[in-house]
Amino acid sequence: MTGKIRDTAIRIKLQEMTESVDMVKEHLPDSADSFRQLGIIKDGIYKRAEYAIENVFDICAILNADLHLGVPGTDENILDNLVQHGVLAAATRQNVKAMKGFRNVVVHRYGAIDDALAFSILKEHISDFALFRQEVEHVLQSVNE
């Protein structure tokens, strides 16, 4: 991997992602029943999760463009390019695709969200953001050496 990467832009996006994830963690209760009862706080959790996921895709798009990995037609093409060129692991691609699926449910079917399922997904996969961050930090470090 060679090329000039917008390091600062990516680091800002990573920080925004991390801040959103930290807010989700801070306000996410221990049970699905408690989560259902949160009202506007629950809405904020959904919004922050959505924002964190959008930052993940922004970072992927920046990496794809700056590393000249090809012109993508979709977000999925970006992920494929990053995996094919060894920028991201295949497991990370799966995690990020799952994030997008969760985001789409939150954005497009907000009233029909199964809060118990969403709670379960958040609890189980919130650590995926940290794994993504570690992978991106490694990429930034290797490109800047």
- Residue-wise pLDDT tens digits, 2-51: 558 999 999 999 999 999 999 999 999 999 999 999 999 999 999 999 99
Mean pLDDT along residues 133-140: 96
The rounded distance, in Å, linking the Cα atoms of 92 and 49 is 17
Model confidence at 1: pLDDT above 60: no
The rounded distance, in Å, linking the Cα atoms of 55 and 142 is 21
Cα 78 to chain centroid distance, Å, stands at: 14
pLDDT at 138: 95
Name the superfamily (CATH) of residues 7-144.
bsu32300-like (1.20.120.580)
Q: pTM (2 decimals)?
A: 0.92
Q: Which amino acid is at 31?
A: S
pLDDT at 144: 75
Model confidence at 104: pLDDT above 90: no
